[in-house]
C-alpha cells in the first residue's frame, strides 16, 4: 500500500507541474511530462543496487571544456562558440576554455574574440605556453637529441615577464585569466620546450611571483608524478602553485590516483587539461568507440578526483565538435557531464561498479542530484538506484545516448520513496537529473 501511495503521489506532483519549466542544466529548460514513465524491465539483467550517499562528499567540480588554438587552425565561428559555451538544446554547455600563449605577441590578439565570448557566458579561461620567444631559448643535448630546446637559465626573469605580459594583455582586452601554466608537456617536448624537474622548481621558487595570476603547474604529458611530487614536497613551492594541471595521454585508471596530493594539497585544485580519447584517427562519431570518452571522464573524476576535464581541440574531426560545427558522439559523451554537472557541484559517494561494464558516479548541486551511468557492456541492465539521506524526490528525468540516440530525454520517471529503477541499454550512457520536491 505504501508503494501504491508513493507512486500516486509522484503522479500527482507530475500533473501539478506539467507546465512548469525545469532548469536541468544552466539555461536549458524542459517542460515536465504529464505521463509517468515506468521502465519495461523484461529481458534486462539485474545488477547490484547503486546507493548514492549525499552526505559523503568528494571534490568540487570546476567544469569541462577544450582548447581553441587559432594560430594553428581557424578560430571558432560565432555559431560554434554558441554551440560550445551555451547550454540549450544542441549545445555542449562547456565552462572552461584553454588558450595558447604564443611566443610571438603579435598573435595574442587572435585569442581574444572567442575567449571574451566564453567568459561572458561564465566560462573560466586558462592559458598554456608551448615555447618562450626564440631569443630566450637555446639548443642542448637531450638523451642524444642535440637539437632539443630549453629556456636559457639566464632568461628566467624575462620569461616570467613574458607570461605576465600575456596576462596583462588579456586583462586589458577584458579577459581575466583564471590561471596560467608554466609549460605545456615539459616531459614530451619533441617539438617544443623541455624542462627538467630542477628547472621547474627553480622557476617556481624564484620567478613565479612576478606573474600576476594564479599559477598552474607545468602540464605533464602522461601524469608523471615526479614533476608534481617535487612541488608538493617543498612547502615554499607548493605555496606558489594554485592549480595542478596534467594530461591523460596513455594514463591508466590505476595511475590516476594521487594520494600525496590528497594528503598535502588542501585548498589546491587538480585539473586534467588535455587529452583525446581513444585516438586522433577515428571519426568522432564512431560507435561504440566514443564511449571511451565517457569512461575516461568517469575514471578521472572518480579515481583521480580531478575537478576539471579539458579536451584537446574543441572543433576537430575527432573532437567534441566536428569541422562542420555539429556535435559528435564524442561530444555527446562529454555533454553527459558538462550540461548537467555544473561548476560548483560536488561529487558524492556512489557504488561505482554495480555490474560488469557499468560505471556510475553521482553529484549534487542547485537542489539536484545528478547520476551519470555508463553501460559499456553488451547487456541491458535493470539498474536500481537508492538516494540515501535525500530530501523528498519531486521529479526524475533521464538523458540517453547510444548508437541511435543523442541525449534523448525521458521525463517523469517513476520513483518509489527515495529510489527508482531504470534500464541502462547496452553500449549507452545515461544521465539522470533528480529534482527535490517543491515545498
What pTM, to 2 d.p., does this model score? 0.93
Count of alpha carbons within 13 Å of 99, Cβ hemisphere only? 33
Residues with a known catalytic role? 185, 274
Count the Cβ atoms, other than its own, within 10 Å of residue 140. 13
Confidence of residue 30 (pLDDT cuts 50, 70, 90): low
CA-CA distance, 121 to 114, in Å (whole number)? 11
Whether 411 contacts 345, CB under 8 Å: no
Fold of 62-340: TIM Barrel (3.20.20)
More confident residue, 436 or 100: 100
Per-residue pLDDT, 32: 73
Q: How many Å from the N-terminal Cα to the C-terminal Cα in the chain?
A: 24
In 130-219, DSSP assigns E strands to 137-142, 145-151, 179-181, 193-194, 215-216
Per-residue pLDDT, 438: 78
> Domain ranges in the chain?
2-58+348-436, 62-340
More confident residue, 403 or 25: 403
- What cell was used for 392? 523528498
More confident residue, 195 or 2: 195
Of 391, 292, 293, 306, residue with least CA distance to 347: 306
Cα-Cα-Cα-Cα dihedral sign, residues 24, 27, 28, 29 = positive
Q: Residue 385 pLDDT > 50, yes or no? A: yes
Per-residue pLDDT, 298: 98
% the chain with pLDDT above 70: 92
What is the tens place of the pLDDT at every residue in 254-296?
999 999 999 999 999 999 999 999 999 999 999 999 999 999 9
**Phi then psi for 135, rounded to 5 degrees?**
-75, -5
% the chain with pLDDT above 90: 89
Judged by DSSP in three states, 300 sits in helix
Which CATH class name applies to 2-58+348-436? mainly beta
Per-residue pLDDT, 84: 99
Amino acid at each position: 500500500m505504501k508503494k501504491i501511495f508513493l507512486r500516486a503521489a509522484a503522479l500527482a506532483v507530475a500533473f501539478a507541474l506539467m507546465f512548469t519549466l525545469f532548469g536541468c542544466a544552466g539555461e536549458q529548460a524542459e517542460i515536465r511530462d504529464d505521463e509517468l514513465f515506468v521502465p519495461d524491465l523484461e529481458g534486462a539483467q539485474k545488477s547490484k543496487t547503486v546507493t548514492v550517499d549525499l552526505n559523503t562528499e568528494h571534490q568540487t567540480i570546476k567544469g569541462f571544456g577544450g582548447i581553441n588554438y587559432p594560430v594553428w587552425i581557424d578560430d571558432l565561428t560565432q555559431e560554434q562558440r554558441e554551440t560550445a559555451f551555451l547550454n540549450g538544446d544542441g549545445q555542449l554547455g562547456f565552462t572552461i576554455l584553454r588558450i595558447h600563449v604564443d611566443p610571438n605577441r603579435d598573435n595574442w590578439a587572435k585569442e581574444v574574440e572567442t575567449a571574451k565570448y566564453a567568459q561572458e557566458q561564465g566560462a573560466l579561461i586558462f592559458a598554456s605556453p608551448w615555447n618562450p620567444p626564440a631569443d630566450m631559448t637555446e639548443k642542448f643535448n637531450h638523451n642524444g637529441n642535440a637539437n632539443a630546446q630549453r629556456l636559457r637559465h639566464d632568461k628566467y626573469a624575462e620569461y616570467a615577464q613574458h607570461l605576465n605580459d600575456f596576462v596583462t594583455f588579456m586583462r586589458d582586452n577584458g579577459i581575466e585569466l583564471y590561471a596560467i601554466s608554466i609549460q605545456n608537456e615539459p616531459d614530451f617536448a619533441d617539438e617544443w620546450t623541455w624542462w627538467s624537474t630542477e628547472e621547474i622548481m627553480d622557476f617556481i621558487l624564484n620567478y613565479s611571483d612576478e606573474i600576476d595570476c594564479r599559477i598552474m603547474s607545468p602540464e605533464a604529458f602522461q601524469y608523471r608524478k615526479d614533476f608534481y611530487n617535487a612541488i608538493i614536497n617543498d612547502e615554499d613551492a607548493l605555496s606558489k602553485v594554485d592549480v595542478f594541471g596534467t594530461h591523460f595521454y596513455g594514463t591508466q585508471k590505476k595511475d590516476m590516483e594521487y594520494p600525496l596530493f590528497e594528503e598535502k594539497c588542501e585548498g589546491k585544485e587538480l585539473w586534467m587539461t588535455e587529452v583525446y580519447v581513444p585516438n586522433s584517427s577515428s571519426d568522432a562519431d564512431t560507435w561504440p568507440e566514443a564511449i571511451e570518452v565517457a569512461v575516461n571522464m568517469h575514471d578521472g573524476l572518480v579515481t583521480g578526483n580531478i575537478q576539471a576535464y579539458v579536451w584537446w581541440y574543441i572543433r576537430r574531426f575527432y573532437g567534441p565538435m566536428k569541422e562542420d560545427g555539429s556535435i559528435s558522439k564524442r561530444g555527446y559523451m562529454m555533454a553527459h557531464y558538462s550540461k548537467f554537472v555544473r561548476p560548483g557541484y560536488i561529487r558524492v559517494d556512489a557504488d561505482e561498479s554495480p555490474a560488469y561494464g557499468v560505471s556510475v558516479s553521482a553529484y549534487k548541486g542547485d537542489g539536484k542530484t545528478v547520476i551519470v551511468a555508463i553501460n559499456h557492456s553488451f547487456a541491458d541492465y535493470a539498474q536500481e538506484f537508492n538516494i540515501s539521506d535525500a530530501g523528498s524526490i519531486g521529479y526524475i528525468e533521464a538523458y540517453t545516448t547510444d548508437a541511435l540516440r543523442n541525449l534523448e530525454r525521458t521525463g517523469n520517471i517513476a520513483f518509489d520513496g527515495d529510489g527508482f529503477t531504470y534500464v541502462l541499454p547496452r553500449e549507452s550512457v545515461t544521465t539522470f537529473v533528480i529534482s527535490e520536491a517543491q515545498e
